[in-house]
Structure 1
């Protein structure tokens, strides 16, 4: 899979490994003592910043050019860029090791589902007052992205990328089956009916697909269904996903996978995308990153909002972050803030996210020539941008989310493969997760 400004599908560390790494990370080094890390910052001071972009290939080259542009405008600030790790997924391990050894960057890309553990490390800056300044225009960024950047009431990073899940469909397969295209008003019953009619065992064609690898790619696809059914992921710090709403949500998926056999189950999370691009899956529940591969495949496609429950079409957003770290150096802290404020400004973001095929970070960018060019190059991009309004809730930002996600992902995988009922599997995941969330 090509690496763009994010690595999708998301692959996570094993929960036990992540917990051990962050336990080690919380010893020694700067601590959260309530002091502003940038207090006393001198904007004219000579500073060298380390920026782990989390990118490879084209996106890394764009990052290098932007760092050079910033240095040209601010000669006292030198920015050393690197991917930080062989893959974006490896950054968490690299950061954890760096915390232990006292060698970690000023700024790093991070998946949003790492926010809770990073916030618990004691190494992040508190940016709450910084983003509250009117000049930052914090509210131009989607509410879900702002929520993911906030851990225990403190902002630890700035959104680096925003997205959401929607329904992408293959028009050719719908035409061949004599089906009307999906609409923004579809229910899950409509989706299930279409999936059945699109499935053709003789051509190895499935109505839809789902990852059963057990990682976050498996888990976060369940959250919109949970919310649409009126459920919650947590009740305070206790698992709540095994409620009647959670069982109903998972039963919706189980019926397609087990009863109808209209859902391709991907054991790796790397196959279902190419199968869709190749015309063997009719509908994909995916995000705007898929549009780049669809463009390469020259697929005739459309995008609609997620199917809904009683008219509720909530989706989930998976924002990623630029996390800023504290080195007990006010000038490094202040300079890193100034750089990320510049990087995520509407003007520069158009050269960053829109340039590599991602949604814009800020609402005001919809009126720019760059966004018009993006929407023209990636049909469906406007729909994903509009669908951000359906991202009304955010995944929890608390230490232990990754372990809980793995438990829920395993539960979903069992159910979709016919090895457990939704109630049994979710109750087991809740029992396992309760202990992790209490630690």
Structure 2
């Protein structure tokens, strides 16, 4: 299950007095049905099913229909078509990077008060559901990026494990020393599909250099992007980076879990598989140019749609229940995600989980320094442009300067179009 397989459970604390209490959403004709398009499979669906069963036991006036029949990766297209036809769910699991486009629909419910009354979400989670100053969804997932290191390969290469404050130049040098062509070992890896999995690893570099994704009606990384792409170029030139050509990065992670990659930039979702593979690993913060801590979080959302007052009230009740720490910690432990709030982090059950999972606290600590991608409707076009640039540099088809020039032309053209 990749990072897109996560959503968030919860219960115990309510999300605010404005939300209807147990059973109050029941209509005169029986329980109110809330249709949820969740997009989850395997472990994610199993945990969600269990949580919904618990919700039904305490909320007899509401029935949650976990339908939709579409994976989370296809949710934007499914929801867009549903809104156009006028037949849409009450709640959908929408990626954070897609929310700005979905939120343009007048059918998306403003949930500012609901989130304000919540458990005190981490900053990145709150930022990821805010579009033009209004909260347009409830946080559903929270993660962060760090570097997972294969301790055996570091020991074999005679290298100490990296420490907080290391630089990208250290990362490049370390990757080169870990690489062993004869043994089939690469120092690191990078997705090479040009999609969002390729892209979101570059933004912490750009933010650290003082750039931004969008600045006004153009990109905010014309200079910083070149510097970031130079790191990509150096890794490729040294032949120390494994390039995964398939969507989902499965080959990259399989290679790491087979002991053929020394370092991988990833999130907490990968730790269960790495543990199951028997890899002795350590987690260290992302390197930076400045020495200051910086990372990215890619939160996803529960977006609520207006199907009438009764169903909106029932959907709000369910979402408030989903965002409370007691169920949140059940989801985190069951599916390997991060707590939505410091309240969940401080629960004994989560503390026990971190004690038995090496490296997990590093991802939670990183949330203090995490940023999120902008809630801009043209972000998908900007992402596609920088994704193309990254792949061109990884494959040696363009210099960083040339690749960034082409990226800027495409991205700026998308940003000047009124949306």
**TM value normalised by structure 1:** 0.87
Per the TM alignment, residue 217 of structure 1 is displaced from its structure 2 partner at its CA by: 0.7
Aligned positions of 1:65-104 closer than 5 A: 65-82=50-67, 84-104=68-88
Aligned mates of 1:383, 1:156 — CA distance in 2: 29
Alignment match of 1:179 (pick from 159, 178, 198)? 159
* In 2, Cα distance between equivalents of 1:7 and 1:85: 16
Q: How does 1:374-385 map to 2 (within 5 A)?
A: 374-385=353-364
Q: Does 1:290 align with 2:243?
A: no
Runs of 4+ in 1 over 6 A off after TM superposition: none
Equivalent-residue separation in structure 1 for 2:244 and 2:199 (angstroms)? 13
* More moved, 61-70 vs 206-215: 61-70
Q: SS where residue 418 of structure 1 aligns?
A: coil
1:23 aligned residue: none
Q: 1:199 aligns with which of 172, 175, 179?
A: 179
In 2, Cα distance between equivalents of 1:7 and 1:62: 10
Mapped to 1, the partners of 2:216 and 2:112 lie a distance apart of: 22
Which residue matches 2:378? Answer: 400
Residue of structure 1 in register with 2:255 after alignment: 275
Contact 1:314 1:390 in 2 (8 A): yes
CA distance in 2, matches of 1:295, 1:53: 27
Of 249, 272, 289 in structure 2, the residue corresponding to residue 309 of structure 1 is 289
- Identify the residue that residue 358 of structure 1 maps to in structure 2: 337
Corresponding residue for residue 333 of structure 1: 312
> How far apart, CA to CA, are the structure 1 residues paired with 2:392 and 2:86?
41
The separation in 2 between residues aligned to 1:5 and 1:350, in whole angstroms, is: 18
Using the alignment, how far apart are the partners of 1:121 and 1:273 within structure 2? 37
Asked whether the 8 Å contact 2:70–2:78 carries over to 1, the reply is: no
Determine the structure 2 residue equivalent to 1:31: none
Selected match of 2:128 from 134, 148, 160: 148
> In the alignment, is the contact (CA less than 8 A) between 2:4 and 2:73 conserved in 1?
no
Q: Secondary structure at the match of 1:103?
A: coil
1:254 and 2:233 matched: yes
Q: Aligned partners of 1:167 and 1:3: how far apart in 2?
A: 16
Q: Distance in 2 between matches of 1:59 and 1:5?
A: 10
Secondary structure of the structure 1 residue equivalent to 2:361: helix
**1:7 deviation in Å?**
6.7
Gaps spanning 5+ residues in structure 2: where? 8-17
The superposition leaves residues 230-267 of structure 1 with CA deviations (integer Å, 9 ceiling, x where unpaired) of 1111112321222x212111111211112x11111111
1:183–1:304 CA contact under 8 A, matched in 2:
yes
Query: How many residue pairs were aligned?
Result: 400
Question: What whole-Å deviation, never above 9, does each CA across 1:195-232 have from its counterpart, x for those lacking one?
Answer: 11100110111101111100001111100011111111
1:368 to 347, 358, 363: 347
Give the direction of change, closer, same or farther, for the CA distance of 1:7–1:213 in structure 2 (3 Å limit).
farther
Deviation at 1:174, TM superposition (A): 0.2
The alpha-carbon deviation at position 58 of structure 1 amounts to: 2.5
Task: Describe the SS at the equivalent of 2:147.
Answer: strand
| d(CA) in 2 for partners of 1:376, 1:294 | 17
Local SS of the residue matching 1:271:
helix
How far 1:350 moved relative to its partner? 1.3
Find the aligned partners of 2:381 and 2:107 in 1 and give their Cα distance: 21
Q: SS state of the match for residue 268, structure 2? A: coil
The answer on 1:435 being equivalent to 2:384 is no
Give ranges in structure 1 of 5+ residues lacking alignment. 9-35
Given that 1:4 and 1:356 are in contact with CA atoms closer than 8 Å, whether structure 2 keeps it comes out as no
How does the TM-score come out when normalised to structure 2? 0.91
In 1, distance between residues paired with 2:115 and 2:354? 29
Q: Tell me if 1:52 matches 2:32.
A: no
Q: Hey, what's the Cα distance between the residues in 2 that align with 1:124 and 1:196?
A: 49
CA spacing shift, 1:281–1:3, aligned 2, 3 Å: closer
Q: CA deviation at 1:426?
A: 1.6
SS of the aligned residue for 2:55 comes to helix
| Deviation of 1:3 (Å) | 5.5
